[in-house]
A and B are shown apart, each in its own frame.
Chain A
Amino acid sequence: MKKTMLVLMTMVLALTLAACGSKANDNGTNNAAGGSELSGSILAAGSTAMQPLVEQVSKKFMADSKYSSITVQVQGGGSGTGLTQVSEGQADIGNSDIFAGEKFKDADAAKAQELVDHQVAVVAMATVVNKEVGIDNLTKQQLVDIFTGKITNWKDAGGKDEKIVIVNRPSSSGTRKTFEKYALGTASEDLPGNIQEDSSGTVKKLVGETPGAIGYLALSYLDDSVKTIKLDGVDATADNVKSGSYPVWAYEHMYTKGEPNEIVKAFIDYMLSDDVQKTDITDLGYISIHEMQVKRDEAGNITK
């Protein structure tokens, strides 16, 4: 009895250790077998905002008979984690909401140089307010004044007499960086009393329920519970983003370390294929990269 238990426990322990070991081996190594059919595994990690998209496309990819022997694993963790993991070779693809150069700064700038950027979609963000606020347009200056604390009551921005409650993102968030860069044009301080949430669902809930709240959400999250407002008279719609008249948008990046190997390239090409761009990407509220009439580089310069 005692012996059986002992043997059993030892086996469990050994199995656990073995499981740990084999998992470590799987990560990162891709046996890109030669020949006509590709096989191997891909690990894509990073941005939680991109996770649903990459997951959905990866399922479709694996179901495709051409790629049936490739497995794609998608993990969240945040843009920073994704970039770290791809740069260290733990993941094959690093999903990120922002350019790698904005995360790897100063001493780490060389790390960003090694990474190859694949822009797979565009995400646009709209400013949203609580429905009771009573405004439908803000100028850029008003937006800056609100987020820097110069205006603290909606009556100074043309609304009703109600205190402004800012629902922001944490200062490390890629969504916040995009909003600050392209909507405000300036970094904003964390004001006392403002709210910070990382998840878009929570931001929407809070803006919808809190009187006088203002926040920003990706277009895919917009619905009737919040009021979407125009920026300088321009509606936050996919068409305005494509034509370049609405400025608050960012690329969704998939970074690889150096040029991607065969199977990773197959997956990224699949992501960029017309089929995926026209269905999955648009369905999930992103904007197809092929339909953009403007291009933007890391410094924010826009070219037609």
Chain B
Amino acid sequence: MNAMRQPSPGGPGDAKPAAAPAQGKPDSAGAKKGGPSAGNPARPKRSRRSRTASEWQGKAYTLICVAILIVTIFSMVFFVASKGLATFFTNGVSVSEFLTGIKWSPDGEPPSFGALPFITGSFATSILAACIAAPLSFCAAVFMTELMPKFGKRFMQPVIELLAGIPSVVYGFVGLSVVVPFLRSIFPGQGLGIAAGAIVLSIMILPTITSIATDSLSNLPRGLKEGSYALGATRWQTISRSILPAVLPSMLTGVVLGIARAFGEALAVQMVIGNSPHIPRSLFESASTLTSVITLSMGNTVKDTVQNNVLWSLALVLLVMTFVFVGIVRLLERRARR
């Protein structure tokens, strides 16, 4: 999940300007050393040996870092999978009961482990959050790149990116103190529920979707816009008929990344959703997500018991869903390139 969170502010574009000067420096330093004596501006006069040595050093360092990363990722997946699968192999809980059961009472007599309420809760909150956040983000991106680029770049973009830096417990507390009483006063029910969770999440994923949409809009070839103006189209016609269709696939990438981020968010959602292990009958009734049940119960259960293992199974479901989201993003990117 963390890897997913990272690209949101600035995105992969950030890496390039940082890397460029680093590459440039050794070159210029080498040119200075070799330059005056040889009078040859092209390549520095370094012995072949030291060059291969430094090549080798760099390669080794990179390899070590990559190896650490790969080992970390694989051991995490292995750890979650081995614990999560123990529920089914060691404790004998049936997979179909786990995925489709609607009764969750791990401490009951007899215990039952139906995770469907959490799976539906997770999907409902994150997709609803994306439905709220996507139009807002698209409009913000269009505003920042097409309508008022100067004001947008200087003022709005930093403000929206600021949203990404607010800790999730703050979102949760604001949700509990503002959104929940507000919903309670308007709609029937206690205010806690999927609607409250989705509203809080939609603000949290706003920066992810907005920055990806802004990037894709500003990367559009200028000819597209100018061609449209040349045909006599108005500004709005240009935006709606030629710009938006062109960036739609990359915008969808942003939406899926936003959903993935919402899917994995735990604390803020847990504070406002009510955490009842049932499929709610309305958006304003207490519900649960995969993450909220894990954070609520993980500390209270004892390692290697079925109550603990089943929480790891829920984590495994989360992990698998994240892989699915990454897969969708890959597909969309391939389509966008075509």
Contact = CB atoms under 8 A, between A and B. Distances in A.
Contacts of B9: none
B278 A193 contact: yes
A233 to B, nearest CB: 30
Contact of B285 (A48, A193, A213): A193
9 contacts: A6-B57, A9-B61, A77-B299, A103-B305, A104-B302, A171-B106, A172-B107, A193-B286, A206-B192
Interface stretch (B142-150, B268-276, B327-335): B268-276
Contacts of A202: 176, 271
A79 B190 CA distance: 30
B108 interface: yes
Nearest to B58: A6
B307 interface: yes
Interface stretch (A80-88, A153-161, A237-245, A246-254): A80-88
B301 interface: yes
Given A190-B105, A194-B286, A205-B176, A80 B299 contact: yes
B26 interface: yes
Interface string B163-188: 00000000000001000010010000
B263 to A, nearest CB: 21
A215 interface: no
A251 B184 CA distance: 37
Looking at chain A's contact residues, is the secondary structure mostly helix, strand, loop, or mixed?
Answer: mixed
Contact of B275 (A76, A81, A108, A196): A196
Interface in A204-220: 205-206, 209-210, 213
Nearest to B65: A13
Interface string B276-319: 11101100011000000100111111111101100000000000
Given A10-B61, A80-B300, A171-B106, A195 B275 contact: yes
B138 to A, nearest CB: 35
B149 to A, nearest CB: 36
Contact of A190 (B184, B277, B280, B305): B277
B302 A195 contact: no
| CB-based closest 5 A-B pairs | A78-B299, A172-B300, A196-B275, A192-B278, A84-B303
Contacts of B297: 170-172
A187 B108 contact: yes
Nearest to A78: B299
B209 to A, nearest CB: 29
